[in-house]
Structure 1
């Protein structure tokens, strides 16, 4: 949606490009291990990411489990949603680390 006052529109969201950037940011956290289309924490699957035509479909575990985890689902359809999701991942990692102690 163009901003009439300034005469520009934000660049269109490209899920495939955003997925590459998101995976890089998640690898930089150093506590997660990338496996296929998702990430693991100490061998437990905690996240799955799939780029669609207009958004990234993400599933984030409510808590790490070696069994089938309970998932929260996210639709990342813009840069703001990707940043918010990354912040949520950081919060959960901090909580999971604290719960281990």
Structure 2
């Protein structure tokens, strides 16, 4: 038996399930408030999330703003992309709270 006989397929990406996990991870950060389909930081909308048939569509503010923020858009189609997005959220939160001081 050769090593080519073994193939490991990742489980199919389920956007609705991944969105539940992502929201749980965001709640664990404790600095964001969930409002409808989005999240706020100190009253400023900083993120919007929506699950589609095969992806999660995410918008992340470049900076918190009480007006309409400038958005960076992300299409998350795998668990790896969801983890990278979560890491990006953490980086921005750290930067925003540092800038607030």
Give me the TM-score of the superposition, normalised by structure 2: 0.94
CA-to-aligned-CA distance 1:49-74 (integer Å, 9 cap, x gap): 00000000000000000000000000
2:17 is matched with 17
C-alpha distance in structure 1 between counterparts of 2:6 and 2:25, whole Å: 31
List aligned pairs for 1:1-101, cutoff 5 A: 4=4, 6-101=6-101
C-alpha distance in structure 2 between counterparts of 1:74 and 1:6, whole Å: 33
Give me the TM-score of the superposition, normalised by structure 1: 0.94
Q: How many residues end up aligned between the 2 structures?
A: 98
Larger-gyration structure (1/2): 2
Q: CA deviation at 1:6?
A: 2.5
For structure 1, list consecutive stretches of 5 or more residues without a partner in the other structure. Answer: none
C-alpha distance in structure 1 between counterparts of 2:6 and 2:86, whole Å: 29
Over 4 Å off, 4+ runs: none
